[in-house]
């Protein structure tokens, strides 16, 4: 009913998928309006987000989030049927998004591989609500008796019969089953020479599960129940489908773990036997057990994580001796800011919030190494409100940006926010929380997000005072756990320290206590717990250190002196001031782009500005600098 263009917003610089209705006939206009109303009501990570709807040049348009990926129909054409675990995981994500839609009174009614996009992070994103039905409005007006809507091979029998009174959430439960069937078999549950013949099969014939082949019986049973002819015989809701698929996955993981344990016992026995044979009659050893040599070819490069392959192909190993700074000057500049956050999401650097002199920011921008894109413009009245001194981290497992605490005009903040392409969501934190704080530090691990230190403002007899903190918390599955109530000494309580995960240790470097900067390095063993001093000297005491893990070691950048150090298992290297270093500054951010192998320095406040002098330039910066190792 329209055409889709790739477009860019002139003011925000944000790319979008622009859907334009070419022939605005009355019935299509109504369906177009329903799509706008239905998608506008949805804010979920698995649903492609609607930015804007309107009329331009007499033609209605919808501006959707541009998803960098491809439809599952294209995936099936190039790869064929998916492994059961992968198919179940994708349909579970779709089911969660559809459950969200049902909670807001919206049916999709046209679930099929072509209407589910697979983004670059491997997540399923539901699109094309062009046949959406608002459950409590417009049902009889938009679906007249005898009108067949949907794609016959994937449509529920009651959807094809054109009986509006029978349409409900069970229609999309059927669609989930049809989608899962297609991902497992490479074809729709029903297909014939014509659409009418296919519709007749859907209404009258039982589904044939033979094309599913050797799919586990538990998963085949989920498909069969979703595709039941009678709506009441299907799962009661999309949420129930998601739960069933989650249980299937978890049971598969448990069985897999048991299988690995059994294989480990057998493998150990075989390895010991191989070693004994090699000791007495085997050929000269190459330095590792024959069992290991035999197993190595089975681990091909295709079995490695995709991100690791990209990093090894594109990013040269960081070298402190040869690295150099390079200023990037994109056509569209990031608005000036300081005391903001910057994290790498696997593809780009995300920058959120901060302060521009007296103005507090709550916008979100993305840097891809070439240009800036505004993902969330923010502004007054937006949520979360503008702040600075907050901490942010990218949750790699869930594909979310997490924001913790910070400070605004009212003082320090006790909030946790989550952002995904579907928008923001404030998380409920329960009774036990780290409390209000700013200038703290966070680090992501597979176990959870660790938060340490910072400062809290407190009213003491009408006078505001700051309390420095040295506690350690962990954010797991939507709740806080107190790991340690205080540090190993009173001096451990400080603000502005840097925190990161390096191997099996949580490292904390530097920071500020009152007016005194520190240059010490502490390590928390993630397996056994407890802080230990890893290094007391070696780096200039730094009240505002910028620290990233380069893969070759931990890089520490002193904003004021512009010196760099690298900490490895062999100790400290440096200091050095790399070629082309930017001017001295403070309150900037530094993050590591592992895909390109560069450290990205953003914004801050210049220490060379004649602030307060008439005509002096604004000391708050909008610069982007990258520290890179030249290719050999």
Same domain, 230 and 353: no
User: The CATH number of the domain where 386 resides is what?
Assistant: 2.120.10.80
Same domain, 336 and 229: no
**pLDDT interval class at 3 (50, 70, 90):** confident
Domain that holds residue 502: 324-628
Least confident of 76-85, 235-244, 309-318, 535-544: 309-318
Same domain, 235 and 351: no
Tell whether 618 is covered by a domain. Answer: yes
Same domain, 497 and 380: yes
Contact of 361 with 353, CB cutoff 8 Å: yes
Q: Where is the domain boundary, 249, 274, 303? A: 249
Tell whether 261 is covered by a domain. Answer: no
Q: Is the pLDDT of residue 355 over 90?
A: yes
pLDDT at res. 613: 55
Tell whether 195 is covered by a domain. Answer: yes
Task: Compute the average pLDDT of residues 248-263.
Answer: 51
Tokens 């019986």 -> residue: 217
pLDDT at res. 265: 42
pLDDT at res. 25: 62
Contact of 371 with 348, CB cutoff 8 Å: no
Least confident of 322-336, 439-453, 455-469: 455-469
Strand (E) or helix (H) holding 408: strand 407-408
- How far is residue 555's CA from residue 231's CA, in Å, rounded to a whole number? 59
With a CB cutoff of 8 Å and minimum separation 6, the contacts of 372 are 13, 330, 332, 333, 334, 365, 366
Tell whether 284 is covered by a domain. Answer: no
Convert the pLDDT of each residue in 93-150 to its tens digit: 999 999 998 988 888 888 999 999 998 778 899 988 755 554 444 444 334 434 445 6
Same domain, 242 and 332: no
Beta bridge partners of 20: 3, 61
Distance of CA 62 to the CA centre of its chain: 25
Q: Is the pLDDT of residue 70 over 80?
A: yes
pLDDT at res. 308: 35
Distances (CA, A) of 269 to 266, 282, 286: 5, 17, 21
Same domain, 241 and 351: no
Contact of 392 with 406, CB cutoff 8 Å: no
- How far is residue 134's CA from residue 531's CA, in Å, rounded to a whole number? 56
Tell whether 256 is covered by a domain. Answer: no
Q: Where is the domain boundary, 221, 249, 277? A: 249
Tell whether 55 is covered by a domain. Answer: no
Convert the pLDDT of each residue in 259-295 to its tens digit: 434 444 444 343 334 333 333 333 333 333 333 333 3
**Bond into 36 cis (ω within 30):** no
Same domain, 463 and 587: yes
Residue 175, token pair as written in the block: 């669609």
- How far is residue 542's CA from residue 599's CA, in Å, rounded to a whole number? 19
**pLDDT interval class at 503 (50, 70, 90):** confident
Same domain, 230 and 379: no
Same domain, 224 and 347: no
Residues classed as catalytic? 110
Strand (E) or helix (H) holding 85: helix 84-103
Tell whether 92 is covered by a domain. Answer: yes
Question: In total, how many domains does the chain have?
Answer: 2
Q: Is the pLDDT of residue 153 over 50?
A: yes
CA angle 447, 452, 458 (to 5 degrees): 140
Tell whether 10 is covered by a domain. Answer: no
pLDDT at res. 212: 92
Q: Where is the domain boundary, 249, 271, 293? A: 249
Mean pLDDT over the full length of the chain: 81
- How far is residue 557's CA from residue 547's CA, in Å, rounded to a whole number? 6
Reduced to 3 states (helix: H, G, I; strand: E, B; else coil), residue 402 is strand
Widest pairwise Cα distance in the chain: 87
Same domain, 240 and 380: no
- How far is residue 384's CA from residue 390's CA, in Å, rounded to a whole number? 12
Question: With the CA atoms of 384, 474, 439 and 373 taken in that order, what torsion angle do they form, in degrees rounded to the nearest 10?
Answer: -50
**pLDDT interval class at 621 (50, 70, 90):** very high
Task: Compute the average pLDDT of residues 416-440.
Answer: 90
Convert the pLDDT of each residue in 31-57 to its tens digit: 666 667 777 778 888 898 888 877 777
Task: Compute the average pLDDT of residues 542-568.
Answer: 90
Residue 339, token pair as written in the block: 């005391």
Q: What are the φ and ψ backbone dihedral angles of 518, each rounded to 5 degrees? A: -125, 150
Contact of 190 with 153, CB cutoff 8 Å: yes
User: The CATH number of the domain where 225 resides is what?
Assistant: 1.10.510.10
Beta bridge partners of 458: 465
Task: Compute the average pLDDT of residues 473-492.
Answer: 90
Same domain, 375 and 496: yes
With a CB cutoff of 8 Å and minimum separation 6, the contacts of 596 are 314, 315, 369, 628
Task: Compute the average pLDDT of residues 476-499.
Answer: 90
Same domain, 229 and 334: no
Beta strands in 69-186 (DSSP E): 69-71, 106-107, 116-119, 124-126, 133-134
Task: Compute the average pLDDT of residues 511-522.
Answer: 87
pLDDT at res. 604: 95
Task: Compute the average pLDDT of residues 185-192.
Answer: 92
Residue 255, token pair as written in the block: 């069985």
């Amino acid at each position: 009913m329209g055409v889709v263009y790739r477009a860019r917003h002139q003011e925000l610089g944000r790319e979008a998928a622009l859907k334009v209705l070419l022939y605005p006939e009355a019935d299509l206009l109504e369906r177009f309006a329903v799509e706008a109303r239905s998608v506008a009501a949805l804010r979920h990570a698995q649903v492609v987000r609607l930015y804007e709807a309107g009329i331009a040049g007499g033609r209605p348009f919808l501006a959707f989030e541009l998803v960098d990926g491809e439809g599952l129909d294209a995936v099936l054409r190039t790869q064929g049927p998916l492994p059961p675990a992968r198919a179940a995981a994708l349909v579970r994500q779709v089911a969660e998004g559809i459950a969200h839609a049902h909670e807001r009174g919206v049916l999709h009614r046209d679930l099929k591989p072509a209407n589910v996009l697979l983004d670059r992070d491997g997540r399923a994103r539901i699109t094309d609500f062009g046949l959406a039905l608002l459950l409590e409005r417009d049902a009889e007006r938009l679906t007249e008796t005898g009108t067949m809507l949907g794609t016959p091979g994937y449509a529920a029998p009651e959807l094809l019969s054109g009986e509006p009174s029978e349409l409900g959430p069970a229609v999309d439960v059927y669609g989930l089953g049809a989608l899962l069937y297609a991902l497992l078999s490479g074809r729709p549950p029903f297909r014939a020479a014509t659409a009418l013949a296919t519709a007749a099969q859907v209404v009258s014939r039982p589904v044939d599960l033979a094309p599913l082949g050797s799919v586990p019986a538990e998963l085949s049973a989920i498909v069969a129940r979703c595709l039941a002819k009678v709506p009441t015989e299907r799962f009661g809701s999309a949420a129930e489908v998601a739960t069933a698929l989650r249980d299937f996955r978890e049971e598969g993981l448990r069985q897999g773990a048991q299988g690995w344990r059994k294989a480990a016992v057998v493998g150990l026995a075989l390895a010991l036997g191989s070693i004994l044979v090699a000791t007495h009659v085997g050929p000269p050893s190459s330095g590792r057990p024959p069992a290991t040599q035999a197993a190595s070819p089975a681990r091909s490069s295709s079995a490695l994580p995709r991100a690791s392959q990209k990093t090894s192909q594109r990013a040269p190993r960081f070298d402190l001796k040869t690295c150099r700074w390079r200023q990037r000057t994109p056509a569209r500049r990031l608005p000036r800011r300081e005391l903001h956050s910057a994290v790498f999401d696997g593809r780009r650097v995300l920058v959120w919030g901060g302060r521009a002199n007296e103005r507090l920011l709550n916008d979100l921008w993305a840097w891809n190494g070439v240009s800036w894109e505004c993902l969330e413009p923010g502004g007054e009245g937006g949520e979360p409100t503008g702040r600075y001194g907050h901490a942010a981290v990218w949750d790699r497992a869930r594909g979310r940006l997490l924001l913790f605490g910070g400070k605004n005009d009212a003082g320090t903040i006790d909030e946790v926010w989550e952002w995904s392409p579907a928008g923001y969501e404030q998380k409920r934190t329960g009774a036990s929380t780290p409390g209000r704080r700013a200038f703290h530090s966070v680090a992501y691990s597979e176990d959870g997000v660790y938060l340490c230190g910072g400062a809290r403002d407190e009213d003491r007899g009408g006078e505001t005072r700051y309390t420095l903190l040295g506690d350690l918390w962990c954010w797991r599955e939507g709740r806080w756990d107190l790991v340690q109530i205080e540090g190993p000494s009173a001096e451990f309580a400080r603000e502005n320290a840097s925190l990161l995960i390096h191997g099996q240790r949580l490292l904390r470097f530097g920071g500020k206590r009152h007016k005194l900067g520190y240059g010490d390095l502490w390590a928390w063993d993630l397996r056994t717990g407890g802080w230990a001093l890893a290094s007391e000297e070696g780096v200039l005491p730094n009240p505002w250190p910028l620290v990233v893990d380069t893969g070759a070691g931990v890089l520490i950048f002193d904003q004021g002196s512009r010196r760099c150090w690298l900490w490895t298992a062999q100790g400290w290297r440096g200091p050095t001031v790399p070629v082309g270093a930017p001017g001295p500054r403070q309150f900037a951010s530094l993050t590591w782009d592992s895909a390109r192998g560069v450290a990205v320095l953003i914004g801050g406040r210049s220490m060379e500005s004649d602030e307060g002098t008439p005509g002096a330039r604004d000391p708050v910066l909008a610069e982007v600098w990258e520290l890179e190792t030249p290719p050999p």
